[in-house]
Amino acid sequence: MTSLIEVKNLSKRYKIKSNWFKKKSVTVLHPISFKLEAKETLAVIGEIGSGKSTLAKLLVGAARPTTGEISLNGQHLQTGNFKQRCQHVRMIFQNAGDTLNPSLTIRQQLEEPLILNTRLNENERKAMIRATLQKVGLLADHMHFYPHMFSGGQKQRISLARAIILQPQLVILDEALASLDLSLRAQMINLLLELQQQMGLAYLLVSHDIDVVEHFSDKLMVLREGKVVEYGNTSDVLTNPKDKFTRKLILSQRKTKVR
């Protein structure tokens, strides 16, 4: 059976200056392969600089892979085909609310991807914006508001609306919940889980928060210096980590929260 997402031998190498005249090549992500199904969440954890955001950028098409390929429902996602990529794979960042344009209404911001990527007419676009705002727990009338009229949690919901309006199949959450307080984070997680069931979304969650990872993800990948050191069902990896590094990482991330 074809998987929703299939990643084969994806890697990233950068050329950096080693001195005045020479450049050296550094591999920040060694070839990795994995599959992800609809309604499944893969969490990626690792120390700072371990390659988590690089993987996210490669999936969303913001960086060009050095090797490897990504398929969606068996169809190869071409590097540089931004239209194809942004319809199927979307990303939400930490403080995503800050990426909203302060001088445009919510309607204008949500309409932009529809104008660029669909053939919907004005009325159809408006109906889609209304439905999407309601899906994320906001009101249809909010489309006439500007970003400064919303709280941080509401802005995060608007970013989510912008991410799902093209009905993607994979949404990447790069520390997207990190800036929210505990209660808003719980609300956002519930909303994301609801949307996952409703829309059949797959998520890739980059997070430093083991509690969120435990509650939210089905599979867990642990990266160290650009290499996968552990990969499996989240509960198996968290309860019985095979790698010494994973044990340390889990302990340190739990400890950070207790303090």
Ligand X SMILES: Nc1ncnc2c1ncn2[C@@H]1O[C@H](COP(=O)(O)OP(=O)(O)OP(=O)(O)O)[C@@H](O)[C@H]1O
Task: State the nearest-atom distance from the C-beta of 153 to ligand X, in Å.
Answer: 23
Between CA 56 and CA 135 the distance in angstroms is 25
28 binds ligand X (CB under 6 A): yes
Distance in angstroms (rounded) separating the CA atoms of residues 107 and 187: 24
245 is a contact residue toward ligand X (CB under 6 A): no
For 51, residues 6+ apart whose C-beta sits below 8 A from its C-beta are 12, 28, 29, 223, 225, 226
Q: Which stretch binds ligand X (CB under 6 A): 49-57, 112-120, 126-134, 189-197?
A: 49-57
CB of 69 to ligand X, least distance (A): 19
By the rule CB under 6 A, 234 interacts with ligand X: no
Q: Does position 196 bind ligand X by CB under 6 A? A: no
CA 232 to chain centre: 19
Considering only 4, 10, 43, 51, the residue that binds ligand X (CB under 6 A) is 51
List strand residue ranges (DSSP E) for 77-206, in order: 89-93, 170-174, 202-206
Min separation Cβ 223 and ligand X, Å: 7
User: Which of residues 48, 102, 123, 183 is near ligand X by CB under 6 A?
Assistant: 48
Q: If binding is defined by CB under 6 A, does position 53 make contact with ligand X?
A: yes
Check residue 11 for interaction with ligand X (CB under 6 A). Answer: no
DSSP E strands in 47-169: the ranges are 67-72, 75-76, 89-93
Question: Does 50 help bind ligand X (rule: CB under 6 A)?
Answer: yes
Nearer to ligand X, 17 or 83 (CB): 17
Paired tokens of 135: 């899906």
Backbone angles phi and psi of 9, in degrees to 5:
50, 40
Contact 69, 81 (CB under 8 A): no
- Which chain residues interact with ligand X by CB under 6 A? 14, 16, 28, 46, 48-54
